[in-house]
Structure 1
């Protein structure tokens, strides 16, 4: 920089100006450098921000994918924000399919090599649902799987079609698409379509051969026959074993059946001690597989007394009195036993007289003529639809509900005296789904019922297109709708609703009728807030001590024995009662998923996880109703439904006043005031008309 020197000692005015200018020039240079540096920093920050945004977007996409895939995460135990989500959609139902329960498998067996068998077994074991099959069932599946081959581009499964078979990929590659979008590829050892072996369901995706493909496949009827026949034979076998017991010889088949329902399967390895001489005895065993050595201590040495095999039993005296084991029983090689301990046995059979019911009295009750509803003068031509008075559906007929088997419409009479709920179902649809017997039985049951906790049937009609059932109108709406509105019920409301169901169950079970489709969608509130059971499409008459083997119900509410095809009875109603209590208190059932096979897997695992706000009494009754072994369930032991009524969760319930309709229903605060249809969801009018049907199945309807 150039410097200036004054001629005299004092700086001149010009010098001052020049100095200031130079200083400003230096500041501008500094500022320019700072700005350039800041621009570089800003550019770097922008680049980093863009990179972070892209990474964040990727993570959000990944989180969304994970959320979609695992939307049924378990509840955390403390964080209130992560409490279980309330169920927002209606539960799907599965109608019983009349596959012959006694049918034999006539297809030729396909021999498999050791490596093929190994591939099939591994595929079954890694599948959520199939892995629950036992070794014998898996062996039967391996034996009966058929082979099929597809060329590249051929469809194995078409989205929207009805499924009948499951597949295991032996070799080759397939591609799975949904609505034209690729989901994933399938290769050797993958299982697909397995839901179709349980029931008739629509395929949710298309599966096409990408290369030449070799598949193992099985049809539903074959699978059902495998499981059902094995369950029946095992049950008959156990019944025969029990009848040889000296202690149990006076029990009837109904009582022996209850014991079988309460027994557990246990496995032992070689040399395992099952019973120790001198120990307190409290368990009875039946040998299903393997051999057991019985030894006794004689002068300090174990002396072999005898060898027991399949069908032999031991420890029976431990069921009826305090005893010490008089010998040691140990497994000689792998052993499988069925066992029941004293505490469970005493809950099942009254030990003091070893008699559960008087058979003759029970049969007389079952055969007593039913009291029919008073003869009705209601005529079909007198019924007219009620119309919406406001809103976007104004002037349309009021629809109270829509389901897989028809619509329920609100009707009144020409003189406008009474409201009715009319269920209308297309006859062609009934025939297509092979539900003729169920519809006829539903009408028969409802016509015979006289119970304040079950909806009344006032008339049944038909024409060439539909069958119609005109029923009592419950103006308070569905429990499902109310639960959806509030999220979850207070305990007092849940107790009251469940108590009404218990009374309906008591009435039905006394008449040898299983309900089999309990859920909030099938519970209605009358104008006084009392709960009534509706929809008897899945109900069935059953003689005590017998089993039925149909696969029927709503997935979230199905008992394990239905899923396993082990044969079921009235105990399934108590299981579903436990699931109902859970859903009323929590807002969603304990076992849920968007994929039915995952629901079934969870039910078979049987792990109940309770949110922290549930009371101890609520957890107690749910866990006792949802015991995996049906013979141990609350309501299905020796005292029957009395044990449910006497549980402490119902300690505030006056059962007599409930039956007399003398209680103030806490549900009244859920019921809205307004037009007669105000407590129902609104549905658009059905403009389509069912096809005519003339097969004549409804001749007696």
Structure 2
């Protein structure tokens, strides 16, 4: 490389000498030499660029395959608030008959689509059956940019133009899939799609797709529960414990003649047959004697879960076989085999909790509140805005009597109704009024008038974690440990009360004056009975757990997944699965490949990988010891949990709180306000 650079330098020197030195030779000769030198130089420059590119690639490839540089996230994460769905979804569409060639085209389109390709054969068959046909003329608009959609499409015939802000993006033709994000939730269309020629489309609405996926997941879960209940070894377990086992099991496939377990080897896995047949044979005098044939629903290897045993027979796939399997190590993490009951975390929760204090705002009325206004600058005279979210604005309020400050969340009733979020809003108010936890923002009062709902919240003067993260790029490890520990305590409190949070991200974390971190915004929280599942599609794309994307039903395990994603983002400045396109985010989440930046510690990588396990039953915090396992992970080795709960630690986050203009020093101006009824 150095030699080539020296050659290029010599070429330049010769060019300079020939160009600037007096020469009495013929001009034609000089011009030819000059042209030759230029060509040599251009060629050398191209060679140098290629060498530099190769060198850069070598540097990149020399890094560990799971270590990358992460770009800092620059914008706030989008929020998904899908409409609520009934517990039982009925498929109202009738099947549409299709020819063999039409079926083949649809199946091929689904299989080449990054997201839909993950459906199983039965789900694909149901999709093929329920897709309906739509015919369009040239110029007809299928999708309009900025509108909300509820359907996906597969092109059967013709061509369509895709434009964004009037700019041509691409042309769709036979076999192309578009609009598929709309079958997950009610998102805004990002482009316009118009028929360029006469077009024939296959279409599916969101409710039909969700019914297909949800009903299949529920049916499979009920089936597995029934299979487990027939196991003599597991007969004393309750439904909650059996549900945890199902969450920890993996689907494995075998080809004809594959040996699943070998007689005489150490047993460490338990299997349920989902599809196919398994031959059981035993060695008798050197010959394999046929014992029996097992079919769908039967299970084997259960003794291996609770004691050290050798396999007493050989089990071989007779044709293609699909099993659900759990190994001994995972089973022991899930169920305490010595007494077969789940770990009770209540003693840990009670230890060292600070006494509850009565709030001076217990009898606070709306008429007692006045807004705080900006005293100077471009917003002088306007109310101080603390934040603007997907469902409303948060403004700073005070009382003249107590001289206390509050955050007032103001949400339009029309917005709530149009987005069908009444249930979420009422539940948010209900749980916040009942919560008494130092790691969760307090709700002091709630009011309403004809247009708005008002929620008077605790004012966290330390600011938003998202803003601080954006300012510094990424957090030092002690700060990330402290922030995450505060979230762990909030989750421990909520989960003990059977409440899932479901929207963890830096934007929903605030700091108080001491730098302690508190959860805010409970719009997606949900109460859930242990052992049950819910099937709604809610959250923030980068933080959504795989089981939500797959519509398999989810529970408290999604909070531990999001805790792993938060840990990664605090340390790296960006979540591990990100893209400008939500479909790509979901595909990356389902792929589950975590790539860590080189500066991340081994302990951090360890806790993230354990929290972000694809199977919810295997996640740290969701196994037999519950959240205690999270607290005891080595990444938290420096954390004194008792002192944290008592508020006796010096928060390292305090250095993030800059001494900006103090809200308390602002001039307080009275403003005429209506007096809404108590909400």
Query: The TM-score by the shorter chain falls in which range?
Result: 0.7 to 0.9
1:96 aligned to 2:82? yes
**What is the rounded CA distance, in whole Å, between the counterparts of 1:373 and 1:338 in structure 2?**
52
Match of 2:572 among 578, 582, 586: 586
Distance 1:624 1:543 in 2: 25
Structure 1 residue 676: Cα displacement: 3.1
CA contact (8 A) 1:162 1:200 kept: yes
Give CA deviations for 1:17-41 in whole Å, capped at 9, x if unaligned: xxxxxxxxxxxxx967655665677
Q: How many residues align?
A: 628
CA 1:653–1:82 in structure 2 vs 1: closer, same or farther (change >3 Å)? closer
> Counterpart of 2:538 in 1: which secondary structure?
coil
Say whether 1:289 aligns with 2:275: yes
In the TM superposition, what is the alpha-carbon distance from 1:675 to its structure 2 partner? 2.2
| Cα distance in structure 2, aligned partners of 1:545 and 1:299 | 48
Match of 2:553 among 567, 579, 590: 567
Q: Indicate the residue corresponding to 1:377 in structure 2.
A: 363
Does the alignment pair 1:207 with 2:193?
yes
Does residue 242 (structure 1) correspond to residue 237 (structure 2)? The answer is no
**Cα 1:325–1:404 shift into 2, 3 Å:** same
User: 83, 102, 112: which is aligned to 1:126?
Assistant: 112
Cα distance in 2 between the residues matched to 1:393 and 1:50: 57
Matches of 2:677 and 2:405, distance apart in 1: 28
Given candidates 158, 164, 171, the residue that maps to 2:157 is: 171
C-alpha separation between the residues in 2 aligned to 1:211 and 1:255? 57
Residue 102 of structure 1, CA deviation: 1.0
How has the CA–CA distance of structure 1 residues 204 and 76 changed in structure 2, closer, same or farther, with 3 Å as cutoff?
A: farther
Shift, 1:43, TM fit: 8.7
Distance 1:272 1:486 in 2: 54
Unpaired segments ≥5 residues, structure 2: 1-21, 54-59, 348-355, 665-675
Counterparts of 1:515-526 in structure 2, within 5 Å, are: 515-526=501-512
Change (3 A) 1:588 1:638: same
Q: Does structure 2 retain, via aligned residues, the 8 Å contact 1:285–1:337?
A: yes
* 1:349 partnered with 2:347: no
1:470 is the counterpart of 2:468:
no
* Match in the other structure for 2:639: 653
Partners of 1:490 and 1:474 in 2: CA distance: 22
Work out whether residues 479 and 652 of structure 2, in 8 Å CA contact, stay in contact via their aligned partners in 1. yes
Q: Is contact 1:174-1:207 (8 Å) kept?
A: yes
Partner of 1:23: none
User: Within 1, Cα distance between the matches of 2:38 and 2:107?
Assistant: 55
- Helix, strand or coil at the partner of 1:166: strand
Are the aligned partners of 2:343 and 2:626 in contact in 1 as well (CA < 8 Å)? no
Aligned in 2, Cα 1:503/1:188: closer, same or farther, shift over 3 Å? same
Aligned pair in 2 of structure 1 residues 360, 611: CA closer, same or farther (>3 Å)? closer
**3-state SS, counterpart of residue 294 of structure 1:** strand
1:281 alignment partner, SS class = coil
- Tell whether the 8 Å contact from 1:242 to 1:248 is kept in structure 2 after alignment: yes
For residues 625 and 210 of structure 1, what CA distance do their matches in structure 2 show?
48
The change in CA–CA distance for 1:553 and 1:35 in structure 2 (over 3 A counts) is: same
Distance 2:483 2:62 in 1: 28
Alignment pair present for 1:180 and 2:162: no
Pick from 385, 401, 411 the counterpart of residue 399 of structure 1: 385
Cα distance change of structure 1 residues 529 and 136 upon mapping to structure 2, 3 Å threshold:
same
Computed over aligned residues only, the root mean square deviation of the Cα atoms, in angstroms, reads 2.9
Please report how far the alpha carbon of residue 391 of structure 1 lies from its aligned counterpart in structure 2 after TM superposition: 2.5
Cα offset for 1:411? 1.0
TM-score, normalising length from structure 1? 0.85
Alignment check: 8 A CA contact 1:75 1:83 kept: no
Separation of aligned partners in 2, 1:107 and 1:550: 21
Whether 1:447 and 2:433 are equivalent positions in the alignment is: yes
Q: List runs of 5+ in structure 1 lacking aligned partners.
A: 1-29, 64-73, 362-369, 679-697
| Distance (whole Å) between structure 1 residues aligned to residue 322 and residue 441 of structure 2 | 48
Are residue 155 (structure 1) and residue 141 (structure 2) matched?
A: yes
Shift in Å, 1:131: 1.1
Matched residues in 1 for 2:301 and 2:357: separation? 48
- Whole-angstrom distance in 2 between the partners of 1:50 and 1:296: 75
User: How far does the alpha carbon of each residue in 1:472-492 deviate from its partner, in whole angstroms, 9 at most, with x for none?
Assistant: 000110000000000000000
Shift of 1:82: 7.4
> What's the TM-score, normalizing by structure 2?
0.88
Contact 1:75-1:611 at 8 Å conserved across structures: no
1:397 is displaced (CA, Å) by 1.2
For the 8 Å contact 2:563–2:611, the answer to whether it is kept is yes
What residue is the counterpart of 2:476 in the other structure?
490
Compare 294-303 and 503-512 and name the one that shifted more.
Answer: 294-303
Q: Alignment partner for residue 338 of structure 1, among 316, 324, 333?
A: 324
Shift of 1:115: 1.4
Deviation for aligned residue 1:700:
8.5
Max Rg structure:
1
The corresponding residue for 2:516 is 530
Give the alignment of 1:46-61 within 5 angstroms. none
Question: Hey, what does 2:466 align to over in structure 1?
Answer: 480
Give the whole-Å Cα distance in 2 for the aligned partners of 1:379 and 1:700: 8
**Rounded Cα–Cα distance in structure 2 between residues aligned with 1:591 and 1:146:** 34
1:143 partnered with 2:135: no
